[in-house]
Each structure stands twice: as C-alpha cells, then as structure tokens.
Structure 1
Amino acid sequence: MSSPVSSKPPFADLYFGMSDSRNEASENRERFVRSYVDLDGASDAVLAGRKFLVLGPKGTGKSALAWYLEASEINGTHLADVRDASALPLAEVPRLQTGQAAGPERTVVAWKFILLCNYLELLLRDQRCSLHQNREVTRVAKLLRDFGFMGDASGRALVTASNTTVEIPIPKIGTIYRRESKAAISIYNLIPYLEDWVSTAEAEIRHVLLIDGLDSIFLNDVKYDESLSSLVQAAYALNQKLRQHDATGSIVLLVRNDVFSRVALSLPDSQKMRDDMSIDLDWRILSGPGGKDAPLIRLVNAKASKALGVSDVQVLDYFPASITVGGRGSRPRTFPTFQYLLNMTRHTPRDLLRVFEEIRKVAASSADGTAGEVLRATVIHEGVLQYSTKYFVGAIQNEFAGFEGGPEGAQAAITSIQEIGKQTFNASEFREALDGQTPPRGSEAERLLKLLFFAGAIGNYIAHMNESYMQFYHRRDDSQIYLKGTFILHHALIHAWAMRRTKAAASGPSTRTTQVTRRPARQRRRTRGGEDSGQS
C-alpha cells in the first residue's frame, strides 16, 4: 500500500519574511500586507491615534508596523508616511535658532516645526483633504517646499540655516496676512498656524506620520538626550492637540524602550505618555508546554499561514518533538526542539523567523522540502548553522554601528572572543586578548564588553552549588553588566564558531537561561528560555 499523502503544504513553500521589513514590503507589497501579524491590535491603535509611542527592543517589529501601515495604503482607509530619523540632525536640532534662549524649550519648538512640516506634507498627499481648498495653506506649503523644509530633507535644510533666523514672505491673503504686521515671518512663528491647519483639516481617511530609524543611530550618548526628549515632548504636545480637535491623524514615534526610559527623566509627563499613549511590542512571554503556544510561535504560524492563504499552519509540526545535539567529543544531549531553536535567538521575532527561514532554505534543497513530512535532524542542524554564521554574527556586528570606532571595535571584540576560544571567560581574559591585537585595545575592554552584553552576544554566567544561571539582558537596560564575574557566549555564536564548551556550563539539566527585559512600569521580568546549551 502507498503511504498517505500529507495534507500539510511542503515546508519549502512556507514563508517567513525577510530581515528588513522595508525590503519585504518593496519586494512584494501584497504578500507583505497579507502575511503581517499584528500584536494585540497595535496597528489599529496607532492608526486610530490612540497610541503615539511604539516601544520595544530592536527586532520586535516596530519598523514592520510602520511599513505595514505604509504598504496597506492600498486598502484606501488611510495614508502613511514613514520618515527615517537617522536622516534627521538629532545632535544639531538643539542649536537651531528658533527665537528662544538655548535649552529644551527651544529644541521642542524646532522639533514641532519639523514634525508639522512633514505632517502637512502627508495631509496634502490626500487630494480630498480640505486643506487643498485653502489658498493660504497651499501657498505657504509651496514656500516651505521651496526652502526644503518639507519631506525627507527637512532636517538638513534647517541645519543649513541653523545660525540665522529664516523668514518667508507672507502671502497677501488669509489669517497670517491679517494678523502679522510685517511682510515676512520667521518660520518658527508659523507653528501656531500650522497647528491650526493640521488639527482642523477635514478628510475621509486617516493619516499617520511615523518616525522610524531610531534603532539605526548611536543614541547612547548624553548629547542626544536633550534632542530626543524634546522630540518626544513635541510629538506628545502635537498629538494632544490633534486628539483635542478630533483630527484625521497622528504623529507616531518608534522608540527603543531603553532609550525612552533614559530620556524619560527629562520628560515631566513621561509616565502619562507611557500609561496612556504607548504600546510595548513584547513577544517574549512563554506559555503552554515547552512554549509551543508562546506568542513567538503564534507569530510564526500566523505569518506562514497568511502568506499561503490557508487557515492554519503549525510550523513545529514539521519538526521532531526533540532533537539531539553534541556528539563531537562531548556527550550527546536531547532537548525539546522549540527550546533548542529559541535558545539560538534573542527571543525576538526577527531572530526566530530567520532561524526558520534558514532551515527552510536547506529543506528546499533536499527531499525534506517537497512534502509535509517531519524534517530530518541533519536538515535542522544545517539550517541552524547557516543562521548562526550568516545572520547572527552579522547582527551582533551591526549593533556596534553608530558608536565611535564602531566597525573597528566590533572587529576587535569579535576577534578577541574567537581567540579566547571557549564558552565562558572573564574580563581579564578578554582584556588580554584585546592587548594582543595591533594596535592593543585593552583599555577599551569595559566599553566593548558592555556593547557585547547589550547586543545579546554575551551574558553573565552565575554558578551555584546545585545550579547555574545565564542572564542575558536584551538590548540596553538600566542594570549594568557585572564586569567582575564570568561571561558566557550566546549559543548561536558558540555554534557559528565551533567553539569548545566549558564543562561546568553544560554539565546538566539544572542550568537554565534567563533573559531580562525592560517592562513598562520600569520593573524587570525574567523570562525563562529553557535549559542551557549543550547545544551544538
């Protein structure tokens, strides 16, 4: 008798997206929109103007939310513009001459002007918006475009004029002409008029301006704090006015939660912002046996099924319940498969989707990918190896981007870890390896260890008599790395570099992984990722 044909789609046909949501949306807009997975109705809350802060560590889907709203314009319910904050002159904004004395108030005014110009540009994209009927608005908008104050180059145009007070001629019509006694007006004196225009505009659809890219620039420096806190304060004030007038849209900031926690000290209303108008993208809650019903797995299942247009795909059904690892000079050990895969990630959607995508590629090149059968362990191991070497190592290196001496520091740190050549090490060993490079960089050991720690590349290894813990802080938290203790490499780096494992760190089922992340109420919650790594 022939074996029954599986009703599951082939694993090779499953879709797990791309590393960059913007690239994913550009490649196939319809598939990206169809396969997007919302967390707790975040997109609706943002689009409706109920939330203006989208918080979360890097890799949790902040950019995906922004590009989903931009791509889903095809539905005809809204217009969305995504502006890249890395193109904005964050360090320069506090120096812009707005007419006030230097300080936070002046910086808030400058940010209001930048945000209002970009939001006005968005409204004027809507040909049915009532602003098109206001000749004063259209003439002022043309002048602002001519000066370069609208669109992606708005920040650069302001910096060009940072040492002077820019004035524009007043059109001899409308409210401004009647109220002002001069023939020209400072651009910053336009702010009350711009606020009035955008908050009272009428339209049939919603509008949302999203500021993305704050993960892509160096923000761990006090010189940015005034600018960032003022940006948040300006967006909050503008959104309050938009909501007060029941306006057609809002201005949304996509911010790492650790960055917001740091600048919150300068924001008098930071707790109100967080409580009332923010949404925290956190997928890292484990639930169910072995985590099979965890939000991260629900995300993977939903994305795969939506992309194929089928009602249900259970991705873990393609995998054996457990997987054996080790065996090359060490005692083989068996782990639940989901635990094994999850511990190769930093508990973020991007990491886990990349694991499945690399396994899918391997399966597609073998017989495993042609039918809905359980994948062989060799396919899974090879996919995890490809993920570790092709994606994870590069992702860690990218965490150094924007830091002073970032590329050189990243290379020095990674080279030193490889030269140490083992799973656990201490600060002295790391410093010695740095000093062995040309030029010696041992004086940077503390800074580089912190960057590796914040990137999720290393954790603190804490050994007790009966059990041991590995604490990985995902991205930057207020708590500092324990520099005098023992460090342990992330499983994926051990895997990528075929590094030997420290016997004590892989010595039994009592060892477990702990990841700590920033919570909205500034409390820490520990999320268990399962047993430690005899995983290879």
Structure 2
Amino acid sequence: MTRPRYGDLYFGLSDSRNEANQDRDSFLQTYVDLNGSTKRVVRGDKFLVLGPKGTGKSALAWYLQFAEPEGAHLALVRDASSLPLAEVPRLQTGQEPGPERTVVAWKFILLCNYLELLMRDQGCSINRNPEVVRVARLLRDFGFMGDASGRALLKFSTTTVTIPVPKLGTIYKRESSSALNIFNLIPYLEMWVAEAESAVRHILLIDGLDSIFLNDAKYDESLSSLVQAAYTLNQKLMENRATGSVVLLLRNDIFSRIALSLPDSQKMRDDLALELDWRVLSGKAGVGAPLMRLVNTKAGRALGVDNFEVLKYFPDSIEVGSRELGVRKIPTFQYLLNMTRHTPRDMLRLFEEIRRVEASGIFEESGDRLRQEVIHEGVLQYSTKYFVGAISNEFAGYAGGPERAAAALTALKAINKQSFDGDEFRESLASVASGIEVDHRDLLRLLFYAGAIGNSIGGYREKSYMQFYHRRDESEIYLQGNFMLHNALIHAWGLRRTLGNEPESQTGAIPLIDRGAARPRRRRRKWEERKK
C-alpha cells in the first residue's frame, strides 16, 4: 500500500459523542480499547470507570451504546450533568433528611433508568410482568423515567412521591396501603431488575460528572451517596447473577476526595474499579508508550492496516530556540508528549492540529518527513486553540467560574515568565482582577489540578523536579514552593523561558510530567532509602 499523506490521516474529534454522531462507522472502527476495558464493563466485573479528564471514559460509554448491533448487550448512557445534583438530597422518599435518604434517592434514580433499559429489551422477561409494566408506566408519567428526570427531581424536592399500588401482583398481596412512597417501593424495583431474565447483557452508564467541578460540600454529599447507591445496587445484581450492571464514569481525583465519606471506598477501588490510565510507562516505554500506541492504532485502523507508525512522518528531533539564543534539538516524541497532559484527548488533538496545517497547503508540501515549520505551526495552533480553552473549561461549575478563569489565566500571562512563586501570582492577580474577591491559593490549586502549572519539589542529592498533577490523585500542590507553566501555555502566549535550558526531566528519558506524578515526595524518599 502506498503510504498516505500525513494530511489525509484520521485522529478523530475532541468529543467522542460528536465523533460517533458524525461518522458512527469510523468511530467504531477506530476505537482503541485499553486492556480489554469494554469486555470487563459488559461482564459486570467493574462498576467504576476512573480516570483523568480526557482519558476516554465517555468514549467507552458511547462505544458500548453504538456497538449494540455488533454485540450481545444493550447500553444506555445517561448524562448526570443535566441532573440537579444539589437537589437529590432533598428528594422526598418518605424518610427523614440525611445521608441515608440521599443514598435511597440515588438508588431510586438508578433503578428507574435501569428499568427503562430492561424494558427496551423485548426479549427480557420483565416485559411480560403486568405489575412491572403498570408501575413503569406510572414512573414514566411522574417523569422519573426518560430524559426529563431532572425536572421530576425538582418537582418532588418538596412533595413526597406516592405510587398507587396496582390491584394485582406482589405489591398488592404484601402491602396494606393503597400507595407506596419511594423508600417502600425500592425493594420491589430491586427484586424485579435482579430477577429479570434475558439473553443479552444490560449496562447503564452514568456520564457527565466530569462536566461539573464538584468543589462544594453539597455536591460531595450527593456524589458520595451516588457512588454508595451504585455500589450496593451492583452487589444485589451480582448476587442474583442479574443480566447487567450500573456503571459510573468518574474522575479519579474526585473519587479520592469523596472516599472519606464512603466506608467501603477501598474495597470499591480494589475489586470493582477500572482505571483508564494511558500514562503508565509513558516515559520509559518511549515511542512504544500506551499513548503513542493509541495514536498509531487509531490512525492505522482508519486506513485498514494493523501496523502503523505515525512518528515515521516526523523528523527524529524538533528544533527549538533561535539563532541568537542557540538552536537545540529535542527528540520528537518527548517534545510532543511534553506539550500534552498525557491524555488521549490532548495527544490526538496535537497530532490533528499538525495534520490540519499540513493539509492546508499554506506551507510547501512535506516530503518523507514533515517540515519543521509545519510542526511548529501545528503545535502553536494546538496550544492556542485547544489547550488554553481546555484549561478554561476546568473552571466550569466553580463559583464565578468564567470570571475567575479569565482572571487566573490573565494573571499567569501577565507574570510573563516560565517560573514563578505564589507571591508573584498573588500580585499579578491583584493587578489584573482588582474587583474580584478570590483567594489566590484556591486559584493556584485549581490551575495545578487542571495541569496548567507544575510544582517544584525537592529531590535526591539536592536536585529538584517539577511535578505536574494532571489529575493524579496521589499528587499534592505545595503552595510555598515555586511553580512552572505548562509548555503549551508558554508556547500559546509566547512567554520567555526563565530556566535556561529545559529541565533534565523534560528532555530526558522520563518526561517531567510523569516523574513527579508517579513518585510523590514521600514515596520517592522510601524508594531512595531502599536503593541505599
């Protein structure tokens, strides 16, 4: 096969749902499954899919839904960002207010949606039970089944929901009252879904939690109750060897924060959590890293070939600097990797922006290897069009989000250098956002968690290393230390570099972004002692 031009390669879209809607066949053909994740989710082995934002949690969900015709399963994806999470604890279930009522409220919401999924399956035994069909019709009329469930939650946050008892079936035989509240109805819903029989598997996936920055106690209570409800419901389904499971797609840093409210959080993570982390060994493995295999596989499958190497279109090294300051050469993979936050979304967008520049015809067409100016322009387009916006999006849901996002990024830009400390940021913030009342330390934390800045920490033999969080739950920010802008922001804003040559950890075998994140100070100290 004649090698296609780089401008004709396929790297997908930024949003997996948009990609699937535009070209379902291409999306399914080029979807890259990390370590058999989809099979484990379909089997019901895992109910938590954890991972940093941009690691493919939503892509997994939409792949399962759009791949229904190809497999023996049915999938339903629900977007939790449309639900009023803060109102869930107020849902009148027939109990006194408190954490237990919130868990029951979430269990009810999950059961209603799971029941809807089962009823889509015409071969499922549940459709032959008149009692279930009647109750499902009432729940649908109330608005608890279907896309309007958010409005139903708001409606019944002040009024107790009562479900009329049908004059037939198990409920009629066991209950003396003519109506049930949510709390009393749940055992029947659990029994029906657990005992349902079908030839296919059923997977309810709750997505959209990445779209809400849960930085408030009221959200934490609601979300921890959601995880607890899903956990106990899945235990019930597993015990009865049911036909499916409920799956939550959740950022790993959020799960770690709410874990303190979950008595079984470690069991959940050890036994029933699937972690999507493409960064494992990404430094040591070099061009064989999981992220690069993802890029190669996606581009190759679009061409119908098994073995494909995108980096063969690139020169071995990228030239940076100028004649006045000196030109340096950085190995291509390390240069590109350090422009990202080590997530599939960042990596694919970077290769896509370079592709667009090559395909535009603005520069002279490249030969066997892409021209340096094409790569530089593509990296610039990625940094300015994608990366800055991605950092701004991290403030979504944060109190005063858009205003504070603009202030934080403007303050970073106004510092006008690669390395800075907390005092410099505070002074810059005061000068560009004098009318905004905000603690500069809160913004530093948010920027750190978003991957916009790294933190300098002490290392072995008086060496220091830059630690970038990139939503790794084991990393912490040191507010008294020095900070460093991510390479993509330096590139996007044309800021001056103030560290001389790039740190060893940014150009060496193990990229800076992984070294600090993979070995926090306490663990690294133990590792050094063990070496001695």
Q: TM class, shorter-chain normalised?
A: over 0.9
Show the counterpart of 2:110. Answer: 115
Show the counterpart of 1:515. Answer: 514
Give 1:383 shift. Answer: 0.6
Structure 2 CA distance for partners of 1:234 and 1:443, relative to 1, 3 Å: closer
Show the counterpart of 1:267. Answer: 262
More deviation, 95-104/266-275: 95-104
Partners of 1:517 and 1:240 in 2: how far apart? 37
Show the counterpart of 2:494. Answer: 498
Unaligned regions of 5+ residues in structure 1, if any? 1-5, 527-536
Structure 2 CA distance for partners of 1:518 and 1:55, relative to 1, 3 Å: farther
Show the counterpart of 1:50. Answer: 45
* Contact 1:474 1:517 survives alignment (8 Å): no
Residue 180 (structure 1) aligned to one of 164, 175, 179: 175
Partners of 1:510 and 1:471 in 2: how far apart? 11
Residue 344 (structure 1) aligned to one of 339, 345, 356: 339
Structure 2 CA distance for partners of 1:187 and 1:463, relative to 1, 3 Å: closer
Structure 2 CA distance for partners of 1:400 and 1:122, relative to 1, 3 Å: same
Return the letter of the residue paired with 1:42: S
Residue aligned with 1:333, SS: strand
Partners of 1:507 and 1:41 in 2: how far apart? 36
Residue 435 (structure 1) aligned to one of 430, 433, 436: 430
Return the letter of the residue paired with 2:466: M
Residue 26 (structure 1) aligned to one of 1, 21, 33: 21
* Contact 1:128 1:203 survives alignment (8 Å): yes
Residue 232 (structure 1) aligned to one of 220, 227, 233: 227
Structure 2 CA distance for partners of 1:139 and 1:289, relative to 1, 3 Å: closer
Give 1:517 shift. Answer: 8.2
Residue 83 (structure 2) aligned to one of 81, 88, 92: 88
More deviation, 143-152/162-171: 162-171
Q: Please give the root-mean-square deviation of Cα atoms over the aligned residues, in Å.
A: 2.5
Structure 2 CA distance for partners of 1:308 and 1:368, relative to 1, 3 Å: farther
Show the counterpart of 1:448. Answer: 443
Show the counterpart of 2:199. Answer: 204
Partners of 1:454 and 1:490 in 2: how far apart? 12
* Contact 1:52 1:277 survives alignment (8 Å): yes
Return the letter of the residue paired with 2:125: S
Structure 2 CA distance for partners of 1:472 and 1:484, relative to 1, 3 Å: same
Residue 223 (structure 1) aligned to one of 209, 213, 218: 218
Give 1:189 shift. Answer: 1.5
More deviation, 83-92/206-215: 83-92
Residue 134 (structure 2) aligned to one of 139, 142, 166: 139
Return the letter of the residue paired with 2:514: Q
Show the counterpart of 1:485. Answer: 481
Residue aligned with 1:326, SS: strand
Structure 2 CA distance for partners of 1:518 and 1:491, relative to 1, 3 Å: closer
Partners of 1:364 and 1:489 in 2: how far apart? 30
Give 1:128 shift. Answer: 1.5
Residue 280 (structure 2) aligned to one of 277, 280, 285: 285
Give 1:347 shift. Answer: 0.7
For each residue in 1:484-513, what CA deviation from the matched residue of structure 2 results, as whole angstroms up to 9, or x when unmatched?
Answer: 222110000000111111044637789762
Unaligned regions of 5+ residues in structure 2, if any? 526-532
* Contact 2:469 2:476 survives alignment (8 Å): no
1:101 matched to 2:96: yes
Structure 2 CA distance for partners of 1:517 and 1:205, relative to 1, 3 Å: farther
TM-score by length of 1: 0.91
TM-score by length of 2: 0.92
In terms of fraction of residues, the more helix-rich structure is 2
* Contact 2:79 2:207 survives alignment (8 Å): yes
Give 1:100 shift. Answer: 2.4
Give 1:156 shift. Answer: 2.9
Partners of 1:209 and 1:400 in 2: how far apart? 28
Give 1:462 shift. Answer: 4.8
Give 1:286 shift. Answer: 2.8
Residue aligned with 1:279, SS: strand
1:194 matched to 2:189: yes
For each residue in 1:265-311, what CA deviation from the matched residue of structure 2 results, as whole angstroms up to 9, or x when unmatched?
Answer: 12121111111111111110236876110000011111111122112
Residue aligned with 1:323, SS: strand
Show the counterpart of 1:376. Answer: 371
Residue aligned with 1:320, SS: coil
Partners of 1:288 and 1:87 in 2: how far apart? 38
Partners of 1:369 and 1:73 in 2: how far apart? 45
Structure 2 CA distance for partners of 1:186 and 1:151, relative to 1, 3 Å: same
* Contact 1:468 1:505 survives alignment (8 Å): no
Give 1:346 shift. Answer: 0.5
Return the letter of the residue paired with 1:352: M
Residue aligned with 2:491, SS: helix
Question: Identity across aligned pairs (percent)?
Answer: 66
More deviation, 74-83/446-455: 74-83
Residue 353 (structure 2) aligned to one of 331, 355, 358: 358
